[in-house]
Amino acid sequence: MPQEIIQQAVDLLQSGKLIGLPTETVYGLGADARNPEAIAKIFLAKERPFTHPLIVHLASFDQVKDWAISVPPEAEKLAQAFWPGPLTLILKKRPEVSELLTGGQDTIGLRVPAHPVALAVLQEFKSGIAAPSANRFSRISPTTANAVREELGSKVDLVLEGGTCDIGIESTILDLSRAQPTILRPGMITRAEVEQIIQKPVSYSREDAPRVSGMDHVHYAPETSLVMIATHDLPKFIEQQTELPIAVITTHKPLFQREGIEWIVMSGEPHPFAHELYITLRELDKQGFKKIIIEEVPQTDAWLGICDRISRGAAKL
């Protein structure tokens, strides 16, 4: 990416504007995290309720102390192991950090993203960039620059081109501000990987659902009805469909060929599956299917983030 474009992005951030920022998980809608007016623009552009906190992106672990009032040793260990990368840490915020960023809470979400374009902008900007996923509220996160333009159009002042996001679903969110480390949103960094680094048990919580926007009942949803069906029930369920065409996402071979049924065969490995998931749903959503059926994915730790996003999209039914 040419240095002039990075500089242009930094200039826009400094003048309170919004940019589309590629990260390794999904594209973010970025603003200067120290500028309340710029932060407010994010909520308006996304049509997101002000109670839903944003993640602040940093260039390196050294900046964490500028935002968090205390930095537990677990945070440092995890940063060493996973940053830059798809892990967001929730820590107690410093008093001067705007409550607009944190949805009125006393904690802040922080992450160093691994995408070279995001890192180049962050290094030049030298401060935090608040960036939720660059979709309208309750829609699928964008994983290409084009998808950001589709979602937000002229509401974003510049979209940086960063190719297709490597990971493809949002970061794992780990709350280190409580007595026990707790995963608030599963992702491709798993509970077992976190436990191995901090040598402590990690719990998994959905209980404080309203505090985390990704925990809303309907989230990550395409427009087309989405349903996840167990492998065993799949043939019967497909037979029962009277409204065609439908799309069926599977990690196996198509069961049969029939008019009005489009089979999409995805990888049976979690990383390539996550990488393709939102791109596939976004494409299928444009094609006028009456329903998108996803064959159930494994219920293992490695698939938990994927399973979570599919079931939230499916909750729309």
Which residues are at the interface with ligand TXA (CB under 6 A)? 23, 25-26, 28, 52-55, 86, 88, 90, 102, 105, 107-109, 111, 113, 131-133, 170-171, 173, 184-185, 211-214
- Comparing CB distances to ligand TXA, the nearer of 51 and 267 is 51
Please state the closest distance from residue 280 (CB atom) to ligand TXA, in A: 18
- Comparing CB distances to ligand TXA, the nearer of 214 and 248 is 214
Please state the closest distance from residue 87 (CB atom) to ligand TXA, in A: 9
Helix or strand holding residue 116 (H, E): helix 116-125
Please state the closest distance from residue 161 (CB atom) to Mg ion, in A: 21
Please state the closest distance from residue 52 (CB atom) to Mg ion, in A: 9
Residue 280 site contact among Mg ion, ligand TXA, none (CB < 5 to 8 Å, cut-off depends on kind)? none
Nearest to 144 by CA among 115, 112, 187, 186: 115
Residue 211 site contact among ligand TXA, Mg ion, none (CB < 5 to 8 Å, cut-off depends on kind)? ligand TXA
Q: Which residues have a Cβ under 8 Å from the Cβ of 3 and sit 6 or more positions away?
A: none
User: Is 16 in a helix, a strand, or coil?
Assistant: coil
Question: What's the CA gap between 313 and 315, in Å, rounded?
Answer: 5
Please state the closest distance from residue 254 (CB atom) to ligand TXA, in A: 32
- Comparing CB distances to ligand TXA, the nearer of 17 and 211 is 211
Please state the closest distance from residue 294 (CB atom) to Mg ion, in A: 20
Residue nearest to Mg ion (CB): 133
Question: What's the CA gap between 34 and 251, in Å, rounded?
Answer: 44
User: Is 173 in a helix, a strand, or coil?
Assistant: strand
Residue 55 site contact among ligand TXA, Mg ion, none (CB < 5 to 8 Å, cut-off depends on kind)? ligand TXA
Q: What is the DSSP string of 190-253?
A: -HHHHHHHHTS--EE--TTGGGSGGGSSS-SB-SSEEEEE-GGGHHHHHHH--S--EEEEESS-
Please state the closest distance from residue 184 (CB atom) to ligand TXA, in A: 6
Q: Which residues have a Cβ under 8 Å from the Cβ of 255 and sit 6 or more positions away?
A: 234, 235, 238
- Comparing CB distances to ligand TXA, the nearer of 133 and 250 is 133
- Comparing CB distances to ligand TXA, the nearer of 100 and 248 is 100
Question: What's the CA gap between 188 and 113, in Å, rounded?
Answer: 14
- Comparing CB distances to ligand TXA, the nearer of 151 and 170 is 170
Question: What's the CA gap between 194 and 201, in Å, rounded?
Answer: 9
Residue 143 site contact among Mg ion, ligand TXA, none (CB < 5 to 8 Å, cut-off depends on kind)? none
Q: Which of residues 218-277 bind Mg ion (CB under 5 A)?
A: none
- Comparing CB distances to Mg ion, the nearer of 107 and 133 is 133
- Comparing CB distances to ligand TXA, the nearer of 28 and 128 is 28
Contact 95/4 with Cβ under 8 angstroms?
no
Residue with tokens 């089979």: 263
Question: What's the CA gap between 292 and 124, in Å, rounded?
Answer: 43
* Per-residue x/- track, 78-117, Mg ion (CB under 5 A): ----------------------------------------
Please state the closest distance from residue 214 (CB atom) to Mg ion, in A: 6
Contact 187/25 with Cβ under 8 angstroms?
yes
Contact 20/143 with Cβ under 8 angstroms?
no
Q: With binding defined as CB under 5 A, does residue 133 bind Mg ion? A: yes
Residues found near Mg ion in the complex (CB under 5 A) = 133
